[in-house]
Amino acid sequence: MAEATARKRDHGSDEFCTTPKRLKVDSEAESSGNEEELQSDTNILCGFKTTTVLKDSAREKAIFLHGKLDGQEAVVILQKTPITEDTVAEMLSDGSSRLTLEMRNDIYSTYQLQPPAHLNVIKATVVCPATAKHVKKYQGQESFLVEETGEDYRSITLPYIQGQSFSLQWVFNILEKIAEAERIVYEDPDPDVGFVLLPDFKWDQKQNHDLYLIAIVHQRGLKSLRDLTAAHLPLLQNICNKGKEAILQRYGVAANKLRIYFHYQPSYYHLHVHFSTLGSEAPGCGVERAHLLSDVLQNLRSDDLYYSRRSLCFPLRADSGLLAKFKQAEQLERRVSTETPPPTHPHTETSQGALND
């Protein structure tokens, strides 16, 4: 059914008109930050006209669409929300759900369960106006694993980062309380070791087993792991200690149930730390991209310049500008291997998408 939908939407003649229960604007989009106005406009998708299906993930129960919203380029992500214990009780016990038999064989049977409308929710994430970079971000692509030495970072990756127009205004809006202030779970305002902790948009906050939060540092100028030295140990230890404590107090999730890590490469170049539960399948938590905070602390204690010297591996999509730079530098012959990319979660990374890593 998803493939049929994709083929139909590719003709660009269809229009979505729906009243979503949830409406989030991806934090990578440069918006005004007026969330009350956005959340009150529940008919916004009535003006969305699809031109292309960027990706259709049956595993994630999500579809990524590119089109026009009131004349502007837009990306819309539609995703089924998780089933929670509360919704299960209501769906199965009050008689308002419709059950249709599909197949029965001995002790096994399958059904189509149609829950009441208020339980059949689809989360809608809107990026508008969307740039060509947003469209590329959400489009399905083959991935390659790149091994980057410290010298590669300085001669290839860093110049590439510095030459791109990656906007961090949405990050600064959060840090300065211009936007999303009501979503902040915890803040240490110290300019050197402080941070804000808030839920990633990929977590719907209905249940804690897939908890996912982001700690964004107040200190500016730190782009990624590569910038960290032993001088940043107080900052990292503060995030570790106070982040765990805040999550325990707010959500009742103990530290030994948390995965705390960095992405490399990150999806945006302002230092941030991911907090997710061990049971969640957060995007980018695999070994090819995630670096545990506990390992980072230990490495920096043993070697002040560990992350400026060592080689780091990370996946790049086939259409990545950075991958093209590695090809131009003739570094791919010995440092790239192809891999089958796993299905990715919407950023909505997130993402925010975004905080959309």
Q: Is 267 annotated as a binding residue?
A: yes
Q: Is 345 annotated as a binding residue?
A: no
Q: Is 273 annotated as a binding residue?
A: yes
> 272, 291, 345, 347: which one is catalytic?
272
CB contact set of 145 (below 8 Å; sequence gap of 6+)? 288, 313, 314, 315, 336, 337, 338, 339
The Cβ-side half-sphere exposure at 305, using a 13 Å CA radius, reads 3
Q: Is 134 annotated as a binding residue?
A: no
Q: Is 342 annotated as a binding residue?
A: no
Q: Is 102 annotated as a binding residue?
A: no
Q: Are β-strands 212-217 and 258-263 bridged in parallel, bridged antiparallel, or unpaired?
A: unpaired
Q: Is 271 annotated as a binding residue?
A: yes
Is 345 one of the catalytic residues? no
Q: Residue 283 burial (CB < 10 Å; 0-12/13-18/19+)?
A: buried
Calculate helix-pair angle for 293-302, 233-251, nearest 10 degrees.
160
Q: Is 209 annotated as a binding residue?
A: no
Distance CA 153, CA 160 (A): 9
Is residue 314 within 8 A of residue 141, CB to CB? The reply is no
Q: Is 266 annotated as a binding residue?
A: yes
Q: Is 263 annotated as a binding residue?
A: yes
Amino acid at 108: Y
Residue ranges of the annotated binding site for substrate are: 170, 180, 200, 202, 263-274
Binding positions: 170, 180, 200, 202, 263-274
Instruction: Provide the annotated active-site residues.
Output: 272
